Amino acid sequence: MPTTNGRIAVLASRVGVDEKQLFDALDRRAVAFDHIDTRKLWFGVGERDNAGDLVLNREIGQVRAAYAARALTAAGAHVVNSADATELCGDKWRTTMALWAAGIPTPRTALGLTPKAALAALDEIGYPALIKPLVGSWGRLVTKLADRANAEGVLEYVAALPGPQSHLGYVQEFVDKPGRDIRVIVVGGEPLGAVYRTGELWRTNVALGARTEPCEVTPEIDKLSIDAAAAVGADIAGVDLIEDRDGRLLVLEVNHRVEFTGFQAALAGRVDVADRIVEHLLERAR
Note the CATH number of domain 8-89.
3.40.50.20
Between CA 259 and CA 8 the distance in angstroms is 20
Q: Count each helix (H run) and each strand (E run) in the chain, helices first.
A: 9, 13
Question: Do the domains spanning 8-89 and 180-285 agree at the CATH topology level?
Answer: no
- Residue 191: beta bridge partners? 186
pLDDT of residue 3: 47
CATH architecture of 108-173: 2-Layer Sandwich (3.30)
Q: How many residues does the chain have?
A: 286
Which sequence spans correspond to the domains of the chain?
A: 8-89, 108-173, 180-285
Between CA 105 and CA 250 the distance in angstroms is 5
Between CA 283 and CA 267 the distance in angstroms is 25
Name the strands in the sheet holding 33-36, side by side, starting at the edge strand that comes first in the sequence: 33-36, 8-11, 54-57, 78-80
Give the C-alpha distances (Å, rounded to integers) separating 177 from 106, 183, 198.
13, 14, 11
Radius of gyration of the chain (CA): 20
CA 39 to chain CA mean position, Å? 21
Give the C-alpha distances (Å, rounded to integers) separating 47 from 3, 10, 56.
11, 20, 20
Q: Are 115 and 159 in contact (CB under 8 A)?
A: yes
Q: Are 18 and 271 in contact (CB under 8 A)?
A: no
Q: Are 10 and 58 in contact (CB under 8 A)?
A: yes
Alpha helices in the chain (DSSP H): 17-28, 62-74, 83-89, 92-101, 115-125, 148-159, 219-232, 261-266, 273-285
pLDDT of residue 139: 60
Superfamily name with CATH number, domain 180-285: ATP-grasp fold, B domain (3.30.470.20)
Per-residue pLDDT tens listing for the chain (286 residues): 454 555 799 999 999 999 999 999 999 999 999 999 999 999 988 877 766 689 999 999 999 999 999 999 999 999 999 999 999 999 999 999 999 999 999 999 999 999 999 999 999 999 999 999 888 765 677 899 999 999 999 999 888 888 888 889 999 999 988 888 999 999 999 999 999 998 655 555 555 556 889 999 999 999 999 999 999 999 999 999 999 888 899 999 999 999 999 999 999 878 999 999 999 999 988 7
Between CA 236 and CA 81 the distance in angstroms is 7
Between CA 101 and CA 148 the distance in angstroms is 30
